Structure 1
Amino acid sequence: MDQPLTDQPLTDQQPTRRSFEELVAEGAAVPTEGWDFSWFEGRATEARPSWGYARSMARRLAGAQAVLDIHTGGGEVLDLALGEATRAPTLTVATEVWPPNVAKATARLRPRGVAVVATRDDAPLPFADATFDLVVARHPIRADWPEITRVLQPGGTYFAQHVGPASVFELVEYFLGPQPDQIRSNRHPDRERAEAEAAGLEIVDLRAERLRMEFHDIAAVVHFLRKVIWMVPGFTVEKYEPELRSLHERIESQGPFVAHSSRHLVEARKPRP
């Protein structure tokens, strides 16, 4: 799937109203490994980017020989794209930094012949220069442009969907208060264009969209903040119990909490000599 939360419509049947304590306990108990967001169906929604990243990735996989997927999570998107590709690359490798996701991705991707390599976000990619003709990434922690350029073959392509600036900041600022402009502008596509070009890449395509999200109960908020841990660093139910209770009452009386995710599609090419 191309986004964190399901975009399926909610059922017209009204669920039985549940207490704040019950909902928070449910949101706090859901496992957070991997990037499968199917648990949110019926309790949170997010619109899909118009470009359909997984489908677009599948088309590029079919024409590639050696592929690297950076920050694969639990391998969900790569697995989906490989399943839709008309031809599998000769070599496909994925990296992941979080140990529980490494195990999950390995179990998911091994049947497809994909090797999953555990890495650190602050370390160079553990591959030789000019190894891959296609590097992909969906929501990488950050784009290390010099390393991406280094491992790409001349003429190779980087094709990724990035999280953009001030993504879901309605929720972030509900808990943390107004954020400075410097933080709000992090991950701006114009900045990433400049960084990619400085590393020696040519931008082929760069498109950005903001997408409506809705949280329909406080359990969805709790699970989201436990899963996407950089949104509200150090989030725990105990630490933010007053804010959570107030937000629960707001959702109960006014309807879903609305936020907007920020996404951009990046396609860049390493020039030939």
Structure 2
Amino acid sequence: MNDKQFSSFLKQADEPFVGWDFSFISETGRMKSELLSWSYGSIATSLVQSAKSMLDMGTGGGEFLSKLRPFPTSVYATEGYLPNVPIAKERLTPLGVKVVQISNDENLPFETGKFDLIINQHESFSSKEVRRIISKEGIFLTQQVGGLDCIEINENLRVPINKDFIDWNLKKALNEIQENHFEVLKSAEEFPIQRFYDIGALVYYLKAISWQVPGFEISNFKDELYTIHKIIEQKGYFDAKQHRFIILAKAV
């Protein structure tokens, strides 16, 4: 396996990943995602403008939340990934957002009925706990990554998809939300294509998305990665189907 371009792309994938920012590969056009029929950002922006108190669950480095201003009077954000917490605090605290580190979805450090808006983009959650901390008629918006996300990556690397999440889909999430006294206002599920234009972009992605291939190390998948590299050389890209669903619900 003596391919200078292959080796060069792998070396470039060592670029540090900070917060929840994929611009190193997305803004350079090395990775592109097919459009969804909805916009989580547009829905969230509209909801924030009419909220009095809100929570952003799993804020990452605060990149998305910081763009939703003007904020309500009371704004909180949670983050469970420890390296992201200081990044989120540095970005959000000057904006008046209280960033809270958490470790358990089932026991959030907020009083009952505290928020009239809770937003959640690609973050795990307990429907029961969300219902506890949201006010009656409060709004919950979540966009989730389904259990079949980018399964083609796992197939090409010969790694089983995570069995703990394989059945996470719109139907299961709706059942949990409705069982915990929410009225569903909107829901949808789609499988848009995510396209990688070089092997370095794919490796960078896998290093950031640690749950796709747990314990991913280049040295353990050199042959499989090289095979994908040759596919990209032949076709110009490597495609994987994302799995996304969105739910907008009101507490009743």
In the alignment, which residue of structure 1 is the partner of 2:43?
56
The residue identity in structure 1 corresponding to 2:121 is R
Deviates more, 1:151-160 or 1:171-180: 171-180
The residue identity in structure 2 corresponding to 1:55 is S
Matching residue within 66, 69, 81 for 2:68 = 81
1:261 and 1:125 map into 2 onto residues whose CA distance is 29
Instruction: State percent identity of aligned pairs.
Output: 31
1:50 and 1:77 map into 2 onto residues whose CA distance is 19
Gaps of 5+ in 1: 1-16
> In 2 relative to 1, CA 209–95 (structure 1 residues): closer, same or farther, beyond 3 Å?
same
Matched, 1:211 2:197: no
Report the CA distance between 1:48 and its aligned residue: 2.9
Matching residue within 212, 217, 230 for 2:211 = 230
Report the CA distance between 1:57 and its aligned residue: 0.6
In the alignment, which residue of structure 1 is the partner of 2:10?
24
Report the CA distance between 1:183 and its aligned residue: 5.9
Report the CA distance between 1:178 and its aligned residue: 5.6
> SS at 1:238's partner residue?
helix
2:67 and 2:242 map into 1 onto residues whose CA distance is 22
The answer on whether the counterparts of 1:130 and 1:154 sit within 8 Å (CA) in structure 2 is yes
In the alignment, which residue of structure 2 is the partner of 1:67?
54
1:124 and 1:184 map into 2 onto residues whose CA distance is 21
Matched, 1:143 2:129: no
TM-score normalised according to structure 2 size: 0.92
CA RMSD of aligned residues (A): 1.8
Gaps of 5+ in 2: none
Pairing of 1:65-144 with structure 2 (within 5 A):
65-82=52-69, 87-140=70-123, 142-144=124-126
Matching residue within 134, 147, 151 for 1:152 = 134
> SS at 1:128's partner residue?
coil
In the alignment, which residue of structure 1 is the partner of 2:167?
186
In the alignment, which residue of structure 2 is the partner of 1:33?
18
In the alignment, which residue of structure 2 is the partner of 1:14?
none
Report the CA distance between 1:265 and its aligned residue: 1.2
The answer on whether the counterparts of 1:158 and 1:267 sit within 8 Å (CA) in structure 2 is yes
Report the CA distance between 1:137 and its aligned residue: 0.6
